[in-house]
Amino acid sequence: MFSSRRKSSESEALVIESSESLSEPAQIAEPAQIAETTNEVPKGEEVFAVVMIGSRQYIVFPGRFLYTQRLKDANVNDKIILNKVLLVGTKSSAYIGKPIVPNAAVHAVVEEHGLNPKVIVFKYKKKKNYRRNIGHRQPNTRIRITGITGYQDSPVATLDS
């Protein structure tokens, strides 16, 4: 479920530390320091949430964008708060709502309004010379998730490794 990819800053730090340890083989304590620095991951990067927008559920991560149904009341560059948070999770714990997580909120910014690709509706009746070709484009909204807050007050369900 979680991807174990490294951030560019972590991989650069590893390269710098490893080049110093190769040039000075007498120091043995440095590999322990390398292990300590790789475990430091910003907390905002590993949090995800399941949010209900309209009648659909979406899994969201901070910093990513999401296409949803058209949000009529939101304009471009508006900051919105999604408060129907069903679940908030990290790598080690989960905050499960019954049905929603109390005080949890997902902050987002509306980036653009657009249209989905065209869906062709072709009506046809055989032997009657009846053909209708109709196209439809469903409106959508692109939002960027900026943060997930307020879930720390809820009871925690820890996940076994």
116-144 per-position pLDDT tens digit: 999 999 999 999 999 999 999 999 999 99
**What is the tens place of the pLDDT at every residue in 103-117?**
999 999 999 999 999
Note the pLDDT of residue 159: 63
User: Would you say residue 80 has pLDDT above 60?
Assistant: yes
User: Do residues 93 and 156 lie in contact, with contact meaning Cβ atoms separated by under 8 Å?
Assistant: yes
In the chain, where the domains are located? 1-40, 43-158
User: Do residues 147 and 63 lie in contact, with contact meaning Cβ atoms separated by under 8 Å?
Assistant: no
Tell me the three-class secondary structure of the chain, residue by residue: CCCCCCCHHHHHHHHHHHHHHHHCCCCCCHHHHHHHHHCCCCHHHCCEEEEEECCEEEEECCCCEEEEECCCCCCCCCEEEECCEEEEECCCEEEECCCCCCCCEEEEEEEEEEECCCEEEEEEECCCCEEEEEEECCEEEEEEEEEEECCCCCCCEECCC
Averaged pLDDT score across all residues of the chain = 77
